[in-house]
Amino acid sequence: MGRMDKRQQRKFSLRKIWNQRYSKKLLLKIMAMVTIFTICVLLILNVFIWTTDVSKLENPVPQPTIIYDQAGSVASKISTSNIEGVSIKQIPSNLINAVISTEDQRFYDHHGINYVGIARAMVKNLFSGGIVAGGSTITQQLAKNVFLNQERTYTRKFKELIFTKKIERTYSKDKIMERYLNQIYFGEGAWGIQRAAQVYFGKDVNKLTLSESAMLAGLIKAPSILSPFKNYDKAIQRRNIVLSLMKNEGYISESDLEKAKQQSIVLKGKKTEDYKGKYPHYVDNIIDEAINKYHLTQNEVLSGGLRIYTELNPRMQNAVEEVYKSENMFPKSQPDRLIQSGAILINPSTGGINALIGGRGEHSFRQYNHATQLKRQPGSIMKPLSVYTPALEQGYDIFDMLQDSPLNIDGYQPQNYDKQFRGSVSMYDAVVHSYNVPAVWLLQKIGLEYGGKAVERFGVTLEQKDYIPGLALGGMNKGTSPLQMAQAFSAFPNDGIMVEAHAIQRIENASGETLGKWNKKESRVTEPSVAQKITFMLKGVVNEGTGVKAQIEGREIAGKTGTTQLPFSTQNGAKDHWFVGYTPQVVGAIWLGYDKTDQTHYLSSSSSGTATVIFKEILLKSGNEVPTKGFDLSLLGGNYIKQLEKKVKAKEEKRKQDNENQSGIKAPKIEENKSHENKKHLKEIKNKNKENKDKKNNKGKDDKKNKVKKEKKENHG
């Protein structure tokens, strides 16, 4: 037994020695591999750092505001801000201490990376399952602002590390602070501390007080939200927090803190310079929309490094601008004053403003916009809104007869443009030829209150004094704009649904945060069948009525002309010319007139020969951006086609009879043209209804086949 024990002990001892010997070797190997790996990583890291270029910090450049079109491509860049660099010696120590207290309390102690802050951020990210926090130092912020985008990925964090280390090895702490304060964005278009001091307080940076320094340091966190121009109380609260942090860090005393809180903040403000860029009229509208809808300031839009995504269609915008540069497209102006005009194109299904122009002649920054800000009486383009839509809603129909005889409504006696009366005319003819008397008569029949409320449903604001019989003809106290009328008419090709017109889809700041986003606002203003009936009649306006000069071969267009009377007596004169035209994909509104109408400054022709031609030319130059597509009038059925066919035949017979009565004298060419257009209009509608009928028949056949297949399958099962 004793010998056996000794043998076992020896075996155990040998195994122990073996294990100790080889485990040490393995451990040494592992340690060597880790050391080599670490050296390689550090070497590679240092290679990256050595080869990284940070010379861009020598020339600070503000970030431009970028305008994107509807496809997400860069359409225009706006940059009006100039960074005024200052040396660290010109920056008050109170300002530097305020920034350190709020942004990086260990700035002068670390080497660019705050490892304690990173560890804290990593724990937060681990528990959240993504990157939600960071431990950025001032050096890291500088690297990120100048060299990197704002995405939160580990790849970007690695790049940030490389740039941070390079900056720390290249510059002293004071130089890093100097470049940081010269690069950072302080809101209101102010890039750099010198511009910030001028924009907010109207003074140079070296004149800033402790209170002002604390306020500027507080803006860095959220310059748009904390701007004292936009939210003074929030800015003061943030300033007080910064002052408290400075006291906690030992930079100021309790007495200094209380004195600074009592100091009054006097905002003087300094605007940025006007911009010179592409699509200035559209950009003007973007600025207005950003200010009025998203509560940004002009400085922020022009110089805030924003990313603004819009509904702009560059080809349409170029088409509008090209047309408006041509003098031949407009009536001849008086030598001392230009005939002005505004045009706007919107997508009826989205409400997106695809293109606009606010005036003729040389553009000036945020000038009066005749497309969006105009307030003028709309003339006959009001008829579909105030009379014919509400009349159709009350049961009137397209070929119902309306009275066209002298009217006297408490002294108001409307006249047709040719000063003639026809006894009675169909609603269709009244719309197509823009007769005034039948429209006023019909408004009286359906009720002035109902007609007025219909106009307001279409988004056109009325005053109580606008509820008069003349509303049928566009009589308004203040008037309306091409924007409002285009938006209103957009309900017709969109089956009665009106979508709010807008230019901006969303706005992001330089950090990629969303400052504003458009939420679709739509309302049903009339029924689909009523909308299609209006389109049916407005197609007639273009095919055979007052809008014939808007015709484009092979394209379906609907629209309404409008002309307003002069405030003084003269022959063949007008104050305003209007045309609102549309296809299934785009609605356009055109206005022409003098800004100030008097006896030597007025329009001498009618809108049928001016605004319609401009609309047509814009569509032609837009090319494939407005695809050829027919209107959906499937809810109307064949009855209207038959009635229109009868009307065309009756006109043909009347024309022949007139020719016979004139003893063989050839009928005027204009009548031949009208007859041709009537037939053409009828043929188009027939073809469209045949297409819709074929689609329905094919759908019925497919449904029947699917039903038979389903029954066979069930029987087989």
- Considering only CA atoms, give the Rg of the chain: 37
Which of 139, 238, 140 shows the shortest CA–CA distance to 187?
238
Backbone angles phi, psi at 76, to 5 degrees: -160, 150
What is the DSSP annotation of 234-284? HHHHHHHHHHHHHHHTTSS-HHHHHHHHHSPP-----PPPPP--SSHHHHH
Give the integer Cα–Cα distance in Å for 78 and 519.
25
Closest to 225 (Cα-Cα) out of 263, 267, 270, 188: 188
Contact 65, 297 (CB under 8 A): no
- The helix or strand, by DSSP H or E, that contains position 341, with its residue range, turns out to be strand 340-346
How far apart CA 330 and CA 614 sit, in angstroms, is 8
Cα dist. 103→94, 146, 184, 211 in Å?
14, 17, 12, 17
Name which of 524, 540, 544, 547 is nearest 636 in CA terms.
540
Would you tell me how many other CB atoms lie within 10 Å of the CB of residue 625?
19
Cβ–Cβ under 8 Å, residues 592 and 599: no
Determine the residue type at 297: T
Alpha carbons 223 and 534: distance in angstroms, whole number: 50
DSSP tag of 668: P
Write out the DSSP string of 539-600. HHHHHHSTTGGG--TT---EEEEEE---SS--SS-BSEEEEEEE-SS-EEEEEEE-SS-BTT
How far is residue 219 from each of residues 85, 193, 229, measured CA to CA in Å?
19, 11, 12
Tokens linked to 11: 């075996």
Can you count the helices (H) and strands (E) in the chain?
A: 24, 14
- Are 166 and 158 contacting, i.e. CB atoms less than 8 angstroms apart? no
User: What is the set of active-site residues?
Assistant: 103, 380
Question: What gap in Å lies between CA 675 and CA 669, rounded to an integer?
Answer: 10
* Beta carbons within 8 Å of 637's beta carbon, 6+ residues apart: 689
Count the neighbouring beta carbons within 10 Å of the beta carbon of residue 197. 27
DSSP category for residue 405: S
Residues pairing with 508 in the sheet: 307, 514
